[in-house]
Structures are given as structure tokens and as C-alpha cells.
């Protein structure tokens, strides 16, 4: 166990051995890493624990330097545990290098089926008992997908939870993957149209980039193929508070100035790669649609739902937009089957990804009846017109969870927890404590 200091904090590394399959506790084990953070001077105090569940799926926990952003507020009251959920960060990796060691595509898919929220919550329960004892309870802070995990926790292991805070992550308890994307495309269109209204010059730049990509093959610096459809996915940037401005600055550098003809610039391609490559978070792409799979909701496979539902929204057809002299719409938090083929970090796992998309027997992640009887204090920030999580789903879930206190705001986008300098977390803490 390593202990070290950052400005204003004491950090302790923890490693835990957990079953790959919690239904087989005597079987194969994997490692889960977590980073304990406590305010300097409080390291010997009996502070309550706050477990942070990161967004994703497949996102590693934050790497803080001192008391930055929301952590500053949390450390006033808590000893914080930043969890690298299984398969991410310093936990046992699951990527193009390690997954082929499992065997063929079927073996890889079986392995990956153990990396959803139900397994993450069971990991957390083992860790809680080890750190706090059998009767200890901790608080939860779930950001985005971490909020999904929080609802799974409250469904299946609420006795380990003292209180819960959710930011931008109340899922539809009975929503299918098709439902999620059918609601998402109109939201994304609104965000793109708002961006073009703010930066009308970007309409032609995007059209020019799409035309360029249709006329020639373009490779990203890491070797990935940048197609027109892949470029449209850059719209994922528009779900954050400064995303529209960042996208505009990215598009400013699209073409090399002063060069005959049109050539996409290296800085542009490098930045695009940073936004579109899944090298640092392969599980995000491989498991994204599976987080909506529940056998009691639908017996069907998720089946590349984002791709299937996209056909219902022809306005996102880039070629049609060019032909009709319309703005090209960008897309958002969607995973398409061609992404697995064009991204070098995913291509070796394409067959496993296909098998996951075809799987029909995903266990349920939520227990609506138990949530209706919930006794754990819960507060949730719901961001008005959140591009990534449907507001109507979030409001319905807020009503379905007994005692949940929602805060609905248009002051922040999906990244409100990170950019609000602790204000979002502070409000949720005060809601749970009955101070608001």
C-alpha cells in the first residue's frame, strides 16, 4: 500500500482481489484499484467515506492534483475513494492487448459480460466490507454512468449505503436501447442547431470537411480511418458546458491555410483523434449499448440500436444534407458498428463486439419495486436538456425512487459536477441533509 502527499491531500493506493464472476466466488479473480483521498490534517479522523463512481462505461476515476474541482468540497466532510471500475485505469485491464489472451471472440464476449454495473456494485460491496467492516455504510457520488451504477446499488445492496448523490445520471429504469436513442437524436439535433446558430461559419466548414472525406481516404495520426460518419461523431463535444466553443476552435484549424486545394491540418487531425479514439476507454465502445440491456424489459438483443434507430432520422444523412445544400448534422454519444472496424484500438475486438450486440439474456440492472420502497436519502442533479441522458427518463426515475430529491437546473450541462467548483455537490449534500 503506497501513501503519498499532494497539495492539501494525503493519498493512499488500494488494490482489491475480486471474483471475475460474483456467482462463482471461488473462480478466477481480477484486481480492482482505488485511490483514497483525505484532506491533509484529517487523515486520522473517523471521517465518513464517499465512494465516487465515474462516468462511462469504461471511464477510469479522476486523477486529482490536490483539492481540485468537486473534490475540494467533498474533502470538507468525507474520506473519498476514487474507484477505477473493473477493466479501467489501474485495475486489471480489458483491451485489445489483454482480451485476445482470453481465447476466441466468444470467450472474450463472455468475459466482457462481467463488466457491467451489476458486477461493479458487487465489487464495491466487497471493498466496503474490507475498508469499513460488515456493518459500515458509505456515501455514493455517481456521475453520469456512475449514476446508473448508483441506481443499481440502491436496487441490490442498499444496506451498504448511507446516502447517495447523482449528477447527470438518472437512467430510465425500463428504457430499452432503442428508446434511449430514439429520444437522443432529437436532443443532439437541437444541440447542433444551437451551435450553428452561435457559429454560423461552422456550417460551411463542416460541409467542406465532409466533402473532403467523401472524396479521399484520410487517416488519423494513429492509423484510424476518418470517414465522414466518423467525423460526424465529433458532435459528442456539444454535451459539455464549453463544448460548442471548443468545437468551433477545432473547426477553425480544419484546413491548412495557404495550401493549394484543401488539405486537413495535422493539428486538426490530432485533436479529432483525441475525441474519437477509444484507445483510452475501449469498454465505452464495447459495452455502451449493453448498459441498457435487461431481460425483463426486452428479450431482444440491443443489436446496434444507435445504428438501427438512426434510419428513423434521415436528417443525419450527411450525403443527403450535401445534396440538398443543408447543414450537416453531427451525432453525439452513439456507438456504431463501423467504429469498431475503423478504430485500431477496437478492430481486434470486432467479433466480440458483434457477439455482445447480439446477446439477449442480460440480467436486470434495476429493481423498480425495491426503489419504490427506498429508504436511503438520495439527491440528484438533473440537467435540463442534457445531451447524454434523457431528461424525461431522469424525471420519471426521480419520481419512481422513494425519497429522491431532484434538483433540475439549466445552469450547467452534463459536466456540471466537474466545472462547478464544488457548487453542484454542495447543493446535493444540503438537499440530503434537509438544508434546502
Which band of pLDDT confidence, cut at 50, 70 and 90, is reported for residue 262?
confident
Q: Where are the alpha helices (DSSP H) in 262-317?
A: 266-276, 282-287, 305-310
Domain check: are 160 and 184 in the same one?
no
Q: In this predicted structure, what is the pLDDT of residue 433?
A: 96
Single out the residue in 309, 333, 358 at which a domain terminates. 358
- Verify whether residue 139 is a known catalytic residue: no
Which band of pLDDT confidence, cut at 50, 70 and 90, is reported for residue 388?
very high
In contact, 200 and 178? CB cutoff 8 Å: no
Number of domains in the chain: 2
User: Using the 8-state DSSP alphabet, how is residue 343 labeled?
Assistant: -
Domain check: are 242 and 323 in the same one?
yes
Single out the residue in 322, 337, 358 at which a domain terminates. 358
Q: In this predicted structure, what is the pLDDT of residue 32?
A: 98
Domain check: are 168 and 202 in the same one?
no
Over 80: is that where the pLDDT of 1 sits? no
pLDDT tens sequence across 399-416: 999 999 999 999 999 999
Domain check: are 233 and 212 in the same one?
yes
Which band of pLDDT confidence, cut at 50, 70 and 90, is reported for residue 259?
confident
**Which of 336, 333, 356, 384 is CA-nearest to residue 145?**
333
Q: In this predicted structure, what is the pLDDT of residue 276?
A: 96
In contact, 350 and 340? CB cutoff 8 Å: yes
Domain check: are 67 and 146 in the same one?
yes
Domain check: are 245 and 285 in the same one?
yes
Domain check: are 137 and 272 in the same one?
no
In this prediction, residues 232-258 reach a mean pLDDT of 96
Q: How far is CA 92 from CA 95, 225, 345, in A?
A: 10, 29, 17
- CATH number, residue 396: 3.40.50.1820
Domain check: are 291 and 192 in the same one?
yes
pLDDT tens sequence across 144-187: 999 999 999 999 999 999 999 999 999 999 999 999 999 999 99
Domain check: are 373 and 246 in the same one?
no
Which band of pLDDT confidence, cut at 50, 70 and 90, is reported for residue 258?
confident
Pairing of strands 9-19, 3-6: antiparallel
Q: Which three cell numbers stand for residue 404?
A: 429522491
- Annotated catalytic residue, options 195, 414, 415, 426: 414
- Annotated catalytic residue, options 61, 119, 144, 394: 144
pLDDT tens sequence across 28-37: 999 999 999 9
- Verify whether residue 77 is a known catalytic residue: no
Single out the residue in 358, 378, 410 at which a domain terminates. 358
Q: In this predicted structure, what is the pLDDT of residue 268?
A: 98
Domain check: are 24 and 136 in the same one?
yes
Domain check: are 140 and 203 in the same one?
no
Question: Model's pTM, two decimal places?
Answer: 0.96
- Verify whether residue 414 is a known catalytic residue: yes
Over 90: is that where the pLDDT of 304 sits? yes
- Rounded to the nearest integer, the mean pLDDT of the chain is 97
pLDDT tens sequence across 48-92: 999 999 999 999 999 999 999 999 999 999 999 999 999 999 999
**Which of 146, 115, 91 is CA-nearest to residue 21?**
115
Q: In this predicted structure, what is the pLDDT of residue 180?
A: 97
Distance CA 147, CA 140 (A): 9
Domain check: are 145 and 250 in the same one?
no
Range(s) of the domain holding residue 182: 177-358
Q: In this predicted structure, what is the pLDDT of residue 222?
A: 94
**CA 415, 420, 424, 425 torsion: positive or negative?**
positive
Distance CA 338, CA 81 (A): 37
Amino acid at each position: 500500500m503506497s501513501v503519498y502527499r499532494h497539495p492539501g491531500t494525503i493519498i493512499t493506493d488500494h488494490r482489491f482481489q475480486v471474483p471475475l464472476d460474483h456467482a462463482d466466488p471461488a473462480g478466477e479473480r481480477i484486481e480492482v484499484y482505488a485511490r483514497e483521498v483525505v484532506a491533509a490534517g484529517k487523515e486520522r479522523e473517523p471521517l465518513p467515506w464517499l465512494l465516487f463512481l465515474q462516468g462511462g462505461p469504461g471511464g477510469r476515476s479522476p486523477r486529482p492534483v490536490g483539492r481540485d474541482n468537486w473534490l475540494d468540497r467533498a474533502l470538507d466532510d468525507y474520506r473519498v475513494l476514487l474507484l477505477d471500475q473493473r477493466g479501467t485505469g489501474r485495475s486489471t485491464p480489458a483491451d485489445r492487448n489483454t482480451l485476445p489472451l482470453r481465447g476466441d471472440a466468444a470467450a472474450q464476449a463472455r468475459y466482457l459480460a462481467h463488466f457491467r454495473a451489476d458486477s461493479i456494485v458487487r465489487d464495491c460491496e466487497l471493498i466496503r466490507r474490507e475498508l469499513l467492516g460488515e456493518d459500515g455504510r458509505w456515501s455514493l457520488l455517481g456521475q453520469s454512468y456512475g449514476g446508473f451504477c448508483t441506481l443499481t446499488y440502491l436496487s441490490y445492496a442498499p444496506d451498504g449505503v448511507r446516502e447517495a448523490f447523482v449528477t447527470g445520471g438518472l437512467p430510465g429504469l425500463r428504457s430499452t436501447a432503442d428508446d434511449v436513442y430514439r429520444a437522443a437524436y432529437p436532443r443532439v439535433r437541437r444541440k447542433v442547431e444551437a451551435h450553428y446558430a452561435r457559429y454560423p461559419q461552422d456550417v460551411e466548414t463542416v460541409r467542406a470537411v465532409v466533402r473532403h472525406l467523401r472524396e479521399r481516404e484520410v487517416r488519423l495520426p494513429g492509423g484510424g480511418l476518418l470517414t465522414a460518419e466518423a467525423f460526424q461523431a465529433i458532435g459528442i463535444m456539444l454535451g459539455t458546458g464549453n463544448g460548442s466553443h471548443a468545437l468551433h476552435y477545432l473547426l477553425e484549424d480544419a484546413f491548412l491555410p495557404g495550401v493549394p486545394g484543401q488539405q486537413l491540418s495535422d493539428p486538426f487531425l490530432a485533436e479529432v483523434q483525441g475525441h474519437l479514439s477509444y484507445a483510452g476507454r475501449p469498454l465505452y465502445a464495447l459495452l455502451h449499448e449493453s448498459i441498457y440491456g435487461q431481460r425483463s424489459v426486452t428479450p431482444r438483443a440491443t443489436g446496434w440500436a444507435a445504428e438501427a434507430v438512426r434510419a428513423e432520422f434521415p436528417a443525419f444523412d450527411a450525403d443527403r444534407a450535401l445534396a440538398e445544400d443543408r447543414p450537416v448534422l453531427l451525432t453525439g454519444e452513439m456507438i456504431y458498428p463501423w467504429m469498431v472496424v475503423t478504430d485500431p484500438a477496437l478492430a481486434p475486438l470486432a467479433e466480440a463486439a458483434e457477439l455482445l450486440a447480439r446477446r439477449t439474456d442480460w440480467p436486470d440492472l434495476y429493481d423498480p419495486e425495491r426503489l419504490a420502497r427506498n429508504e436511503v436519502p438520495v439527491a440528484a442533479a438533473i440537467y435540463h436538456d442534457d445531451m447524454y441522458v434523457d431528461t424525461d427518463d431522469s424525471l420519471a426515475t426521480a419520481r419512481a425512487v422513494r425519497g429522491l430529491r431532484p434538483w433540475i437546473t439549466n445552469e450547467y450541462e452534463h459536466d456540471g459536477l466537474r466545472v462547478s467548483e464544488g457548487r453542484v455537490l454542495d447543493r446535493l449534500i444540503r438537499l440530503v441533509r434537509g438544508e434546502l
